[in-house]
Amino acid sequence: KKTNQDNSDGKQNDLEFNKSSAQNEFLTTNQGVKINDDNNSLKSGERGPSLLEDFILREKITHFDHERIPERIVHARGSGAHGYFELYKTMEKYTKAGFLNDTSIKTPVFVRFSTVAGSRGSTDLARDVRGFAVKFYTQEGIFDLVGNNIPVFFIQDAMKFPDLIHAVKPEPHNEIPQAASAHDTFWDFISLMPESMHMIMWVMSDRAIPRSLRMMEGFGVHTFRFVNEKNESHFVKFHWKPKLGTHGVAWDEAQKISGKNPDFHKQDLWETIEAGNFPEWELGVQIIPESDEHKFDFDLLDPTKLVPEELVPVTIIGKMVLNKNPDNFFAETEQIAFHPGHIVPGIDFTNDPLLQGRLFSYTDTQLSRLGSPNFHEIPINRTIAPMHNNQRDGHMRQEIAVGKVSYHPNSLGGGCPFQAKMDQGGFVSFNERVDAHKVRARSKSFSDHFSQAKLFYNSQTPVEQDHIASALSFELGKVEAISVRERMLGLLNQVDANLAATVGKNLGIPVPKDIEKPINHGVGADDKGTQEPSKVN
């Protein structure tokens, strides 16, 4: 049942084994016993009490009672599709990853697009970041590119992620997402986190209300590494470029669409694939030699920064086509488990402190969301590369591992079949040299929070800049705490004085002369661990 083919059908063939159709089949219990009446429970007399012994009713209701699993803590609302990735030109100079070396390989993929903050039943057209997660079922194992449609992130360190999400999600006491004061918590947090200003510019722009999922860019956000056969490393940034171009709707349209059809994006993706108009994205990479690591006026490890395309052009290396809707939303789109730590030989991490924290978070959350350490066996999650190891047991284990040995080393199990041998393509982490003092701090090279926010704002047309000002006026207009509004104006003033003045005018408050200085989050440690007293930015 496991296939290992160099073509885009590899995953579909793998899934075939688990598919079933009830058409023209007899209704049965889970135990395969035929049911002759699915309308009436077993009773003592037609008007009498129901009988506990009714195993057909009990089984049906019990299963129904347990249909729901927790929604994702973030990115709860999603839409997914199958497809394939095709390489235009070999990247072997930079990476030994097979699917990026051999242009004859078509790699099956599953993509899940999502909004971040809303619950599973929220609207598609919310102003929000969009998740853009791609699972590549490669011959060497699964590679997940778990990205967003915005190239940077709100925060620099994973330590702040729970705070960010607690600030953006509905408040704990009333859980009313649209309550007037619901905007207070998000903007309160942002106003105290100047590092978020670059991302805020993107989120207040038309990028955060896409016209269609087919018309969004995707970004890996973090700097990753490519590692080649000679064990040479290059830094790499990943980009998805939609063939249809990048388009947004206006805020007024977004609100109307949300009212009339909150499933607008989900439906658009489904229908376009059903109609055979397969959406396509090209994969681009920005490659930076190790020797250029410190050449930029920002830090490559800082996820609030992008690498301007003027400095490092994006090279297009392949194309992704989404050509098949899922057969079952829950089984595929809901149960899929992405993880930025799913990498294959030839791709590796950097020390970006946001990425490093993510490497812990995803499996941890999926253990409770999917309920068992065996979720890699769920059909949509299982690799099409051969998979063998000594892990065993656990809730709902599907594999029936044959033999008496589940440890290594062993002499009784027919040798050492599980030994990862380097010369057989076993994963070897890039041997980056790390030699520093242990510190709980962040690098000074992470402290410029405004240059790229300005860069983005200035790259927008006057109409787009108006949209940013209107979005900020709308959002901050919902904030009840005047101190938060003022602090935000102070930050906006450091991005663009006209922008701050326009938003201030719309809010009816002047841009404060003496800006309340945001808290500095421990920036200033040098690599010897000496930390300067907290300074304001």
Any contact of residue 342 with ligand HEM (CB under 6 A)? no
Q: Which of 101, 148, 381, 493 is catalytic?
A: 148
The pair of three-digit structure tokens given for residue 190, joined into one six-digit string = 């942002």
Any contact of residue 357 with ligand HEM (CB under 6 A)? yes
Which residue, among 529, 222, 445, has the nearest Cα to 351 in the 3D structure?
Answer: 222
The pair of three-digit structure tokens given for residue 368, joined into one six-digit string = 């409770």
Stretch that binds ligand HEM, among 6-14, 25-33, 237-245, 333-341 (CB under 6 A): 333-341
Any contact of residue 114 with ligand HEM (CB under 6 A)? yes
Q: Which of residues 133-162 bind ligand HEM (CB under 6 A)?
A: 133, 146-148, 153, 158, 161
Angle between helix axes 497-507 and 462-477 (nearest 10 degrees) is 40
Q: Which of residues 263-322 bind ligand HEM (CB under 6 A)?
A: none
Residue 399 beta carbon to ligand HEM: minimum distance, rounded to whole angstroms: 22
Any contact of residue 338 with ligand HEM (CB under 6 A)? yes
Tell me the C-alpha to C-alpha distance, in Å, between residue 355 and each of 193, 266, 301, 441.
Answer: 19, 29, 9, 16
Residue 523 beta carbon to ligand HEM: minimum distance, rounded to whole angstroms: 18
| Tally of CA atoms within 13 A in the half-sphere of 493 that contains its CB | 17
Any contact of residue 78 with ligand HEM (CB under 6 A)? yes
End-to-end CA gap in the chain: 59
Q: What is the CA radius of gyration of the chain?
A: 26
Residue 157 beta carbon to ligand HEM: minimum distance, rounded to whole angstroms: 8
Please pick, from the candidates 117, 337, 471, 503, the single residue that binds ligand HEM as defined by CB under 6 A.
337
Stretch that binds ligand HEM, among 196-204, 268-276, 358-366, 502-510 (CB under 6 A): 358-366
CA angle 406, 409, 414 (to 5 degrees): 70
Any contact of residue 522 with ligand HEM (CB under 6 A)? no
Tell me the C-alpha to C-alpha distance, in Å, between residue 453 and each of 50, 129, 150, 309, 457.
Answer: 66, 16, 13, 15, 6
The pair of three-digit structure tokens given for residue 70, joined into one six-digit string = 């927790």
Stretch that binds ligand HEM, among 94-102, 252-260, 319-327, 331-339 (CB under 6 A): 331-339
Please pick, from the candidates 8, 12, 14, 74, the single residue that binds ligand HEM as defined by CB under 6 A.
74
Q: Which of 7, 18, 30, 75 is catalytic?
A: 75
Amino acid at 313: P
Which residue, among 381, 371, 395, 397, has the nearest Cα to 337 in the 3D structure?
Answer: 381
d(CA 535, CA 531): 11
Q: Characterize 141-169 residue by residue with b for buried, 16 or more Cβ atoms within 10 angstroms of its Cβ, and e for exposed.
A: bbbbbbbbbbbbbbbbbbebbeebeebbb
Residue 115 or 205 having the CB closest to ligand HEM: 115
Residue 358 beta carbon to ligand HEM: minimum distance, rounded to whole angstroms: 5
CB 85 within 8 A of CB 319: yes
Residue 75 annotated as catalytic:
yes
Residue 202 beta carbon to ligand HEM: minimum distance, rounded to whole angstroms: 13
Residue 339 or 487 having the CB closest to ligand HEM: 339
Residue 320 beta carbon to ligand HEM: minimum distance, rounded to whole angstroms: 15
Please pick, from the candidates 60, 241, 243, 369, the single residue that binds ligand HEM as defined by CB under 6 A.
369
Residue 431 annotated as catalytic:
no
Residue 222 beta carbon to ligand HEM: minimum distance, rounded to whole angstroms: 7
Task: Give the count of residues interacting with ligand HEM (CB under 6 A).
Answer: 27
- Residue 146: strand pairing partners: 133
Cβ burial, residue 444 (10 Å; 0-12/13-18/19+):
middle
- Residue 324: strand pairing partners: 82
What is the total residue count of the chain? 537
Any contact of residue 442 with ligand HEM (CB under 6 A)? no
d(CA 462, CA 150): 20
Amino acid at 220: G
Please pick, from the candidates 361, 406, 494, 531, the single residue that binds ligand HEM as defined by CB under 6 A.
361
**Phi–psi pair at 233, nearest 5 degrees:** -110, 140
Please pick, from the candidates 96, 112, 266, 376, the single residue that binds ligand HEM as defined by CB under 6 A.
112
Q: Which residue is nearest to ligand HEM (CB)?
A: 131
Residue 101 beta carbon to ligand HEM: minimum distance, rounded to whole angstroms: 25
d(CA 511, CA 518): 15
Per residue, the 3-state secondary structure of 340-385, as one string, reads CCCCCCCEECCCCHHHHHHHHHHHHHHHHHHCCCCHHHCHHHCCCC
Residue 143 beta carbon to ligand HEM: minimum distance, rounded to whole angstroms: 14
Any contact of residue 73 with ligand HEM (CB under 6 A)? yes
Stretch that binds ligand HEM, among 32-40, 60-68, 72-80, 487-495 (CB under 6 A): 72-80
Residue 99 or 238 having the CB closest to ligand HEM: 238
Binding site for ligand HEM (CB under 6 A): 72-75, 78, 112, 114, 131, 133, 146-148, 153, 158, 161, 221, 336-338, 354, 357-358, 361-362, 365-366, 369
What are the residue numbers of the active site?
75, 148
